[in-house]
Amino acid sequence: MATSLAAVGVTALSGTILYALHGKVEPSYAALVGLPAAAGVVAGAALQQRIRRRGLSLLFSLLVLGVAIELLFSPPRVSESFALAIALGFAAGILAGLFGVGGGLLFVPTLLALGLTQLHAEATSLMAILPTAAAGTWRQSRYGNLCWRSAGVLGISSIAGAEGGIFVATHLPEDLLRRLFAVFMLCVAAQLAWRARRP
């Protein structure tokens, strides 16, 4: 999972550049959630060494499931609470450190709640992932949990997929894009729940 976090960083970097060329990235919002997440991922990586993750995986899957259902059936609620955004960014970082994910699953709903459109939220979440992935990769490498070669192969091979995904995303209606993201979250929730069943 530590290796996947490094690969996510490469994918997020390429996606950020491509979305920025389309003018879809909001750097200030990315910093608002991404910098607290970078601190959280260090804490999450430390916790990973000390706790059993099966129960946490199940709880995380339920959280993702709940957010996915809300996005699927209702428009996101808009809030002006920057303190909540910072707290959610930190929490996303902790989860990234624990489970080897980039945090984008929580960044996107948080950015939607701050008033960004679905496309801008997805694009900005990629930039927000960068400090999280960098901090998490550095911390996991200190623990000896990282395979740099595999991370490089995974990251570089995903760049073409990111280009294709961005092309599709920029040509879809916002509502459909939001619902597709919700379906993706449902799949991730199912995978996390399945993984939690394994000893």
pLDDT for the residue numbered 119: 93
Mean pLDDT of the chain: 80
pTM of the predicted model, to two decimals?
Answer: 0.78
Structure tokens at 144: 């000896």
Mean pLDDT in residue range 29-56: 77
Q: Are 11 and 132 in contact (CB under 8 A)?
A: no
- C-alpha–C-alpha distance, residues 27 and 101, integer Å: 21
Other beta carbons within 10 Å of 41: 32
With cut-offs at 50, 70 and 90, classify the pLDDT of residue 142: low
pLDDT of 27 higher than 90 = yes
Ranking 85-99, 109-123, 139-153 by mean pLDDT, the lowest is 139-153
SS3 136: helix
The residues, ordered by sequence, that sit 6+ positions from 148 with a Cβ below 8 Å of its Cβ are 6, 141
CA dihedral over 128, 131, 135, 138, signed as positive or negative: positive
